[in-house]
Structure 1
Amino acid sequence: MKNISLKTFLLGSLAVTLVGPLAVTVQSASENSSVSNNGTITFSGEYDWERVDPENPGKIVNPGESETAGKSLRIDYVPTLDFNQQVISSEDQLYPAKAQLFHDETPARANYVQVSDFRGTGKGWTLQLSQDYQFRNPDDKNIILNGAVISLNHSWANSANQETGKPEVQKDVIEMMPGTTYDLATAKPGAGEGTWLISFGASETNNQSMNSSLEQLLVDKKPVTDPVYKQDVYVNHSVSLLVPGKTEKKAVPYQTVLTWTLSELP
């Protein structure tokens, strides 16, 4: 964890000593004198990159590794959307993404993005998302999952810094088309300062009276344990992948790239 170090210096301490015969000095009320000096402060290091619970943003959590970008206006965390291993089907199928797990006691949460604005300007920002290309096999780019659509729903914003004003989130369902950029959240001037979490869905313990979008993943009626987090796997029905039944599917992995962009408002 990186720290900001503050160093303060008290300057301008002035001592005056008068030496000489005892005398009485009369100073008129119109005479004034003043002494000016400087105060200084020095900063070192950078802003902390602490990740917090999207439903209890006063609590630091460990969701695992993530790409980060920016400095005083930055993306702190983005999710990896994993739609699990599925059985080939000739019917249209809607596959929910795995919910977010943590390397601590924090329960499963909906998939979320964390952004921070410590510019102190109040200029506002916009969070956007685009899909670079359609799902395809990483070893053979000609094997494509044609017609597959990622959907994001039930967006909401949360922060421990509510007094600055909430960013506005996209309320409609986002159905992504590769090559198209979508607005996820916009903080108008004066809003969105500090750290904010943009979530898609919520757990049953959320304090915003939202319906839970999470469901425990069961195979043969038994819980599935994530090998990395060592916790039970949940899926999030607010983030899903639609795969048409008519689309040709092969028993290989498919991948795509999502680009998250945080921009300063002009």
Structure 2
Amino acid sequence: MKNTNKLLLGALLGAGMAGAVVTTAHAAETQAYTSHGKIEMEKNDGSTGPGVIDPTDPGTVDPTDPTNPVNPGTGGPLSIDYVSNFNFGKQKMSGNNEVYNSELVTVTTVDPVAGTKKDVANYLQVSDNRGTVSGWKLSVQQSKAFTSEVTNKTLDGTVITLSNPETRNGDNNAAKPAPSTVTSSVDIAAGSGDKLVMQAKDGEGSGTWAEAFGNATKDAEKAKKSVQLAVPGDSKKVAEKYVSDITWTLTDSGL
């Protein structure tokens, strides 16, 4: 490169001494080089969401209650992460038709120093981390009637009603396409089969979504009334604790 520069300079000097004017044209020099960015997508076999979130102000919380334990989530890329157990408390037997409100859920905010406890509405959480944004459907049924723990007697004719649903995503992003179908009131009775809770169509419902029944921050009493148990007066009762199984199904079929 140094030799080339010297030869060029000598030629210019010689031309100048002879009185000639030389105009040198330099072509613009452009170089192009291609590098690469790479990512390989693989099937998500486990949730990569934010964990269980607060349904009123998305942020990770721990809803674990040792006196009323919750089941772990289903796992997988399309998962049910959490559903509240509905606790209708201790009630006196009655010969009249009665409606009982569910207790609220106490959660603890996940904080590196100290968590803060707060009461929130009963809620559920689902996550779609498949990356296909192809939609999903959540349904529920009372798979086992309220049954006494000691004598195995059923509490016939009971109906659980879920109302005042509010949905939020884990990103707290109001512009994110939400599930377009959310059932405003769901009645769950033993033997009545699956009832639709909410459904995301193609292009909706990706990431983590919480659906709360009521909003305890705005109105705690209304939130309690958003999950109710109706018990007929003519249903035979025994002085025992009753437990019912409620099955939630999340699927991408039949959309």
* Counterpart among 199, 206, 214 of residue 193 in structure 1: 206
Report the counterpart of residue 169 of structure 1 in structure 2. Answer: 182
Kept in 2, the 8 Å contact 1:161–1:195? The answer is: no
Q: After superposition, what is the alpha-carbon deviation per residue over 1:159-186, rounded to whole angstroms, capped at 9, x for unaligned?
A: 2133221112102x22212131011011
Report the counterpart of residue 80 of structure 2 in structure 1. Answer: 75
TM superposition shift of 1:61: 1.2
2:176 and 2:252 map into 1 onto residues whose CA distance is 17
Report the counterpart of residue 240 of structure 2 in structure 1. Answer: 252
Report the counterpart of residue 113 of structure 1 in structure 2. Answer: 124
> Structure 2: any 5+ residue segments left out of the alignment?
6-27, 65-69, 109-114
Report the counterpart of residue 151 of structure 1 in structure 2. Answer: 161
1:255 and 1:240 map into 2 onto residues whose CA distance is 15
Mark the CA change 1:263 to 1:162 in structure 2 (over 3 Å): closer, same or farther.
Answer: farther
Report the counterpart of residue 112 of structure 2 in structure 1. Answer: none
Report the counterpart of residue 227 of structure 2 in structure 1. Answer: 239
2:73 and 2:87 map into 1 onto residues whose CA distance is 19
**Whose Rg is larger?**
2
Report the counterpart of residue 229 of structure 1 in structure 2. Answer: none
When the two chains are superposed, the root-mean-square deviation of aligned CA atoms in Å is: 3.2
1:194 and 1:23 map into 2 onto residues whose CA distance is 62
> Structure 1: any 5+ residue segments left out of the alignment?
1-17, 207-211, 216-234
Mark the CA change 1:158 to 1:34 in structure 2 (over 3 Å): closer, same or farther.
Answer: closer
Identical residues among aligned pairs (%): 30
Q: Normalising by structure 2, report the TM-score.
A: 0.73
* Counterpart among 86, 91, 115 of residue 86 in structure 1: 91
TM superposition shift of 1:48: 4.6
Kept in 2, the 8 Å contact 1:61–1:106? The answer is: no
Kept in 1, the 8 Å contact 2:49–2:127? The answer is: no
Q: Normalising by structure 1, report the TM-score.
A: 0.71
Code of the residue aligned with 1:98 in structure 2: it is E
SS at match of 2:175: helix
Code of the residue aligned with 1:99 in structure 2: it is L
Kept in 1, the 8 Å contact 2:102–2:228? The answer is: yes
Report the counterpart of residue 182 of structure 1 in structure 2. Answer: 195
Mark the CA change 1:189 to 1:35 in structure 2 (over 3 Å): closer, same or farther.
Answer: closer
Mark the CA change 1:132 to 1:242 in structure 2 (over 3 Å): closer, same or farther.
Answer: same
Kept in 2, the 8 Å contact 1:99–1:214? The answer is: no
